[in-house]
Amino acid sequence: MVRQIIFKLPQHKRGFHLITRTVLEKIGELPNEGIFHLFIKHTSAGLTINENADPSVRYDFELVFNNLIRENQTFYTHTLEGSDDLPAHVKSSLVGSSVTIPITNGRLNLGTWQGIYLFEFRDFGGSRELVATIYS
């Protein structure tokens, strides 16, 4: 059986946002066993699973990504929407647009220190649409 839920996240400021609780609220009850897939329908934000306990991880992610892919480079040609646009596309390609998590005993089978993150790479990205697909 397959169930699909499409929902929007409110606008988040640029950065790395733990969204596990919001996602769980939006999707409702999970089957006893199955697979959960979450997809973001945008090219300047991404999804990943990572450390959910220490908030300094979020700060460090921002530093690392901004040092790896810098804004305002003279060789960029995709700049019509601002200096954060092309770097946001590159960053989202590195992070990815989806996560897949096993469902066990009616819960997402995440590790103790794992959570689902929205990586917002734009200064003004707007709300983000997600598609959750639950296979049971």
pLDDT tens per residue, range 32-54: 999 999 999 999 999 999 999 89
CATH code at position 82 = 2.60.120.460
Residue-wise pLDDT tens digits, 100-122: 999 999 999 999 999 999 999 99
Q: Which domain holds residue 11?
A: 2-135
Count of domains observed in the chain: 1
Burial of 35 (0-12, 13-18, 19+ CB in 10 A): middle
Three-point CA angle 108, 17, 39, nearest 5° = 55
Q: Which residues pair with residue 34 across a beta bridge?
A: 103
Q: What is the pTM of this model?
A: 0.95
